A and B are shown apart, each in its own frame.
Chain A
């Protein structure tokens, strides 16, 4: 994985946070805003290195807390925990499978808000919670689940467009060439 992909992931985290704050169509329609950062963390943990994963969690979390009324830094740890768990198990995950991406996105998007709220409650901040929060949680989880394969497709597209293609080996091997006729 090259530096360009890492930069793209970090820039995507920046844009995603702004998108969540600026565009409210889903919020008006479903009553909750979809969180795309956990889905991005799934991509970062399966496709980039530990440094990029850590930077995405730290910068993405701080960007989100800056535009939100969250205490600064409260979103960093939940994003990192989810990303780190997936990263440590990534040899066992079929990252190219759509179903695996969907399930991981669902789990990440479900866990991150819960951990964030728990961390805030621990810090003594009381956010707006109630029965409606369950619906918001479902919307956030499903939204993240749908967004995860889209991230993979999008970054795959960037990768194909901006990076050199990997040189593929041909099936031709000179040592196994069948020579016909006499020399």
Chain B
């Protein structure tokens, strides 16, 4: 038998939920910022724990292993320096040609390294939080990538941390281009909830020449992601909607499950 207090509690909770759910976006953002700030001490604790684990791992690594790694890195640096010399020459040549034909100069990317601190606790979204916020110059819709490829975009920024919506989440749509002769363009949309490494490339034209193994990069359309960031490789394709357009599955270049550090692309 329900008592009066039961009815009061039920009415209060239902009313509260209805009010919060119908608040404008600005108000809910403020609530998220206010409540999120309560977790700040735990953010610090989590990153210190992570650092401690890393330091312990470093301390346990034998000296011979460190020397071997050092030698490997030294060789890699030398190779990269040679590649930089070569690409610098190509860039200068490119700039001269652009000047000659009066094309717009390409601005070099400004990148900022961020640590991944949290993942979305709900299984039906694919988001994560990084340790850079508005005080570091982060704004919404900045692209986020790793050295392997695109990861997503910044969706929510607080003072000290930001939320990244990852590729495959329903709220992260990217215009993508297949590196083939026709330069077929489609849209990266939501993926399935289980296999995070495969995403759908939708709305490709019915005449698209899609082959497994072709590279998929950002097309630069939409104004958020600059052109040329690798997304992944085509796995397979099939016609949908009675042959109106083609859909392809793309294996992501970046490994989302092991993400610890990401780069935020600043304009």
Binds B, one of A1-9, A122-130, A144-152: A122-130
Interface size on B, residues (CB 8 A): 48
Q: Does A27 contact B (CB under 8 A)?
A: yes
Q: Does the CB pair A33–B121 fall under 8 Å?
A: yes
User: Nearest B residue to A59 by beta-carbon distance?
Assistant: B35
Min C-beta distance of A109 to chain B, whole Å: 12
A102 and B36 alpha carbons, distance in the complex (Å): 32
| B11-31 interface with A by 8 A CB criterion | 12-14, 16-17, 20-21, 23, 28, 31
Q: Does A86 contact B (CB under 8 A)?
A: no
Which secondary structure dominates chain A's binding surface? helix
Q: Does the CB pair B190–A66 fall under 8 Å?
A: no
Min C-beta distance of B162 to chain A, whole Å: 13
Q: Does A22 contact B (CB under 8 A)?
A: yes
Contacts of B38 in A (CB 8 A): 14, 63
Q: Does B112 contact A (CB under 8 A)?
A: no
A54 and B9 alpha carbons, distance in the complex (Å): 7
Contacts of A57 in B (CB 8 A): 13
Q: Does the CB pair A31–B31 fall under 8 Å?
A: no
Q: Does A163 contact B (CB under 8 A)?
A: no
Min C-beta distance of A90 to chain B, whole Å: 12
Interface size on A, residues (CB 8 A): 54
A84 and B194 alpha carbons, distance in the complex (Å): 32
Q: Does B195 contact A (CB under 8 A)?
A: yes
Query: Of B121, B155, B165, B190, which one neighbours A21 at CB under 8 angstroms?
Result: B121
Contacts of B168 in A (CB 8 A): 128
Query: Of A18, A69, A140, which one neighbours B127 at CB under 8 angstroms?
Result: A69
Contact flag A88-B2 (CB < 8 Å), given A64-B121, A123-B21: yes
Min C-beta distance of A142 to chain B, whole Å: 14
Q: Does the CB pair A128–B124 fall under 8 Å?
A: yes
Q: Does the CB pair B122–A68 fall under 8 Å?
A: yes
Contacts of B190 in A (CB 8 A): 126, 128
Min C-beta distance of B189 to chain A, whole Å: 10
Q: Does A135 contact B (CB under 8 A)?
A: yes
A178 and B186 alpha carbons, distance in the complex (Å): 95
| A16-55 interface with B by 8 A CB criterion | 17-18, 20-22, 24, 27-28, 31-33, 35, 50-51, 53-54
Q: Does the CB pair A33–B194 fall under 8 Å?
A: no
A5 and B9 alpha carbons, distance in the complex (Å): 20
Q: Does the CB pair B9–A127 fall under 8 Å?
A: no
Contacts of A22 in B (CB 8 A): 42, 46, 117-119
| B161-213 interface with A by 8 A CB criterion | 163, 165, 168-171, 190-195
Q: Does the CB pair B32–A72 fall under 8 Å?
A: yes
A67 and B117 alpha carbons, distance in the complex (Å): 11
Min C-beta distance of B216 to chain A, whole Å: 20
Binds B, one of A74-82, A92-100, A154-162, A167-175: A74-82
Min C-beta distance of A63 to chain B, whole Å: 7
A20 and B190 alpha carbons, distance in the complex (Å): 23
Q: Does the CB pair A18–B21 fall under 8 Å?
A: no
Q: List 21 A-B contacts (CB under 8 A).
A: A14-B38, A20-B121, A54-B9, A58-B16, A62-B31, A65-B32, A66-B39, A67-B121, A68-B121, A72-B31, A73-B16, A73-B21, A113-B123, A120-B124, A126-B190, A128-B126, A128-B168, A128-B192, A130-B193, A133-B124, A133-B193
Q: Which 4 A-B pairs have the closest CB atoms?
A: A132-B194, A73-B20, A127-B124, A20-B121
Q: Hey, which bits of chain B sit against chain A, CB under 8 A?
A: 2, 5-6, 9-10, 12-14, 16-17, 20-21, 23, 28, 31-32, 35-36, 38-39, 42, 46, 117-127, 129, 155, 163, 165, 168-171, 190-195, 257
**A-B contacts besides A35-B121, A50-B9, A64-B121, 18 pairs, CB < 8 Å:** A14-B38, A17-B121, A20-B121, A22-B118, A24-B119, A33-B123, A54-B13, A62-B20, A66-B32, A66-B35, A68-B120, A68-B121, A72-B31, A126-B170, A127-B170, A128-B124, A128-B191, A136-B193
